[in-house]
Amino acid sequence: MISFDLERRVRHLHERYLRIIDDDRLEEWPQLFMPDGVYEVTTRENHARSLPLALMSCHGRGMMQDRVTGYRRINVFEPHRYHHQLSGFESEQLADGSVRTVCGFLVVRTMHTGAISIFATGAYYDVVAQDSDGELRFKQRTVITDSRQTDTLLVIPL
Amino acid sequence: MQSSENINTHVPYWLMHDPAVYRREQEHIFSGPTWHYLCLDTELPEPGSFVTTYIGETPVIVTRDEQGELHGLINRCRHKGALVAIESCGRTKTLRCLYHGWSYHLNGALRLVPFEKGIEGKGGMPPDFDKHDYGLMPVRLANFHGIIFGTLHTATQDIETYLGPDMCAHIRRVFHKPVVVLGYYHQVMHCNWKLYAENARDSYHATILHAFYATFKLNRLTMGGGLVVNHEGWNTMNYSIGSSLQEGEYDPKELRAVMADVGLADPSLLNHRLEFADRITVAIQSIFPTCVHQQIYNTLAMRQVVPQGPGKTELHWTFFGYADDDAELRQLRLRQANLIGPAGYVSMEDGVIGELVQRGTTGQGMEERAVLLMGGSKVESVTDSRANETTVRGFWQGYRDLVGVLQ
């Protein structure tokens, strides 16, 4: 069991995360992680077979900032944005005071042409902890997609 | 058409859209005398292992039987035609159709037909029904240094002749010791399969479309390297040589200016270990028609092109390392995986560029032709320049050899 107040703060972090992505404020995204936090996106297929390959894997904020740079400045793709929905939140407090959570997600992708599609569903497997400034941040966010397929490309983090 | 033009240099747009062309390709290319990547030997580790895949649209199973022998089979029950294996891989003692329970040995032989003798002598199969006549249809296999290829045609050349000497040598170079699969990507592209086949062979686009290369001075057309063609162009390789990911000064004559204010916050992404004595850092090998074998720095992968109609293609990536990788090298491979696949810094654009051609070539003017004249009109190996579409023309040579000239 975690306290009502702690659960409220963790859920607030989750909501901020998707607000930042869905509002295209990606520059703020690395700040939701600890400086040495880990962000990975993989598929249920790879995860179930204990295969370590990820679609995206960022160890530390620097690699997350580089994903933002790729998205803003370097990579070439058709403009699109996401809309996230969260569902099925579970949490438990670990011995060191950090919180492990699982939360389902659905991402609808809207292309600049107006085409709308379900881009991904899956779950976030997180470890959240209090940083030195008192803020809750992700020590780890592992995104596991239900489908093994990626439609076209993945450039905006899920 | 002018006399100097041919299908290798001028490719009609409608070839990417026409359903009749697509059906003709299934017959002449995918069911024709061609070898197709199916899986890696290491994915079938023990008796009973199976993998399901496709040759074109044809569903295929690869099994390892109790004696350790590999078998290629059409994944289609001889009764009603249902798939007999559904999962992408697994272990089983028999292949059993869900519909009426017809069951096959791992070598494809039909072992059991429920109610073959009827019930109390009534019904059942006719007395002359012989189970030997109803095994799963075989697919010829070739295991070349751990890569399992399959062909649906009886007259396909042996694999070494088909590949050609340079292609064989390059496969031996990478598959010189046991490999392990580190994971898969499956990427849906809304384009004709031939647009991806061209893209994988196209060295001209690499440093232009994939701006990450130019931005970080990684793989430039001015670096050492070359284009190799075998089997009259059917099979090709683009490669570049460099001692490190960050080597070399930017050449102002290049097409895209390096953005001075763009840098990597964590340049460890570009850490790389030279694994091969030839100092080749990027090598993209295309085996006609649907297999791509890549080395991009320390990332090693097979890519399989699976056509799903004239306007849809799935690309299956199998990412591997060596069984004896040390921990640091394994981490380098997995970190550099950020460069490749559907989310790869140097490859994500390939997921959309074929679709842009597909959408651009509909409507009025579909009889017009794409132009493949970079470097002339020949199909030949080139070592002095990669500003050359010889490898793309090689694909169309293979296409014309099998499908004929469609005008």
pLDDT digits over B230-239, tens only? 999 999 999 9
Using a CB–CB cutoff of 8 Å, tell me whether B360 touches chain A.
no
Closest CA to B270 of B339, B202, B194, B330: B339
For residue A6, the model assigns a pLDDT of 95
Separation of alpha carbons B50 and B203, rounded Å: 36
If pLDDT is split at 50, 70 and 90, which confidence band does B260 have? low
pLDDT bucket at B252, cuts 50 / 70 / 90: very low
Answer whether B334 sits within 8 Å of A42, measured CB to CB.
no
Residue B159 has φ and ψ, to the nearest 5°, of: -65, -40
- Min mean pLDDT across A51-60, B229-238, B313-322, B384-393 is at B384-393
DSSP state of B116: T
- CB proximity under 8 Å: A 90-149 to B: 148-149
CA distance B61 to B54: 8
pLDDT for position B262:
81
Chain B residues in contact with A76 by the CB 8 A cut-off are 209, 211, 349, 352
pLDDT above 60 (res B217): yes
Chain A residues within 8 A of B212 when measuring between CB atoms: 70, 74-75
Average pLDDT, chain A: 97
Which chain A positions have a beta carbon within 8 Å of B186's beta carbon? 43, 45, 148-150
Nearest CA in chain A to B330: A52
When pLDDT is averaged across residues A112-138 and rounded to a whole number, the result is 97
Q: Can you tell me the distance from the alpha carbon of A121 to that of A132, in angstroms, rounded to the nearest whole number?
A: 33
- Min Cα separation A68/chain B (Å): 10
Closest CA to B351 of B394, B387, B393, B315: B315
Is B93 part of the contact surface with chain A (CB cutoff 8 Å)?
no
Tell which residue, B147, B140, B141, has the closest CA to residue B41: B147
From CA B306, how far away is CA B304, in angstroms rounded?
A: 6
Banded pLDDT at B206 (limits 50, 70, 90) = confident
Residue B289, preceding peptide bond in cis (omega within 30° of 0): yes
Percentage of the residues of chain B whose pLDDT score is greater than 70:
93
Asked if B319 reaches chain A (Cβ–Cβ under 8 Å), the answer is: yes
Asked if the interface predicted TM-score (ipTM) of this complex is over 0.95, the answer is: yes
Whole-structure pTM value: 0.95
Structure tokens at B357: 């051609």
The whole-number pLDDT of residue B309 equals: 98
Question: Best mutation site among B315, B348, B349 for testing chain A: the one with the most A CBs within 10 Å?
Answer: B348
Q: Which pairing describes strands B49-55 and B89-91: parallel, antiparallel, or unpaired?
A: antiparallel
Which structure tokens are listed for B68?
Answer: 């350790």
N-term to C-term CA, chain A = 28
**B194 CA to centre of own chain:** 12
Amino acid A114: pLDDT: 98
Nearest to B320 by CA among B45, B43, B35: B43
Chain B residues within an 8 Å CB radius of A53: 182-185, 319, 334, 337
| SS3 at position B260 | coil
Chain A and chain B share a number of CB contacts under 8 A equal to 117
Express each pLDDT in B71-90 by its tens digit.
Answer: 999 999 999 999 999 999 99
Predicted confidence (pLDDT) at residue A120 exceeds the cutoff of 70: yes
Measured CA to CA in angstroms, residue B115 lies from A151, B103, B263 at distances of: 45, 12, 70
Confidence of residue B214 (pLDDT cuts 50, 70, 90): confident
Measure the CA–CA gap between A105 and A144, rounded to whole angstroms: 10
| pLDDT tens by residue, B93-128 | 999 999 999 999 999 999 999 999 999 989 999 999
Question: Within 10 A of A109 (CB to CB), how many other CB atoms are there?
Answer: 17
* Cβ contact A83:A107 at 8 Å: yes
Lateral strand order in the sheet of B313-322: A149-151, B179-189, B313-322, B299-307, B291-296, B280-287, B235-241, B224-230
